Amino acid sequence: MGKSDGKPKGRMSAYAYFVQTCREEHKKKHPNENVVFAEFSRKCADRWKTMSDKEKQRFHSMAEKDKKRYEIEMKNYIPPKGTKKGKKREKDPNAPKRALSAFFWFCNDERPRVKVTMPDSSVGEIAKELGRRWNDCTEDQKSKYEALAAKDKARYEKEINAYKSKKGKASPAKGGAKGGKKQQVQEESDEEDDDDDEDDDDEDDD
């Protein structure tokens, strides 16, 4: 099943199918048990390393079949109109870096571990695995990253206010209220570009 815009679902690697199978088996054996994603992923990686090529063949076959499915669907896929982004306006290098969400902090922390356990996976597959691991986190585990996000948000708000103040003094509005409105639109556009960058990071992961 594809995304809401009709784009085909990304293909899965042999290891991703293996992990998916392990999850299903674990849920059947322990339906009421909360999975600790870090420990579970480590066990999957250790098990995968000790498996023979013959044992892995089943998952490689599944991955190959999914690869063909993806290639066929992509050939027939026509992106919706207006989905292509135009060239971005150059940003002010002095503008503060946008605050990261709790999930982004989690990804920064967890991505290296995922790459170790999924060395042959694509960027999109790694992003999906990060999403699954985030969903498996308990509220207590997420609180660490939510605290980092709150701290980073406070940092950003402080820096953006100072940036706007400094920018306003350095570039006084011309043409009275009309000029002031133009400057405000420019500043808001800068912030929107920052939002786009954060989204692009996520897409790169996807």
Which tens digits make up the pLDDT trace of 69-86?
A: 888 888 888 877 765 554
pLDDT above 90 for 173:
no
Q: How confident is the model at residue 68 (pLDDT cuts 50, 70, 90)?
A: confident
pLDDT average, residue stretch 187-199: 51
**Separation CA 38–CA 42 (nearest Å):** 6
Closest-CA residue to 23 (of 144, 110, 135, 181): 135
What pLDDT was estimated at residue 188?
52
What pLDDT was estimated at residue 143?
92
Residue with tokens 């920018």: 167
**Separation CA 142–CA 136 (nearest Å):** 10
pLDDT in tens, 1-45: 455 567 788 888 888 888 888 888 888 888 887 777 777 888 888
Q: How confident is the model at residue 96 (pLDDT cuts 50, 70, 90)?
A: confident
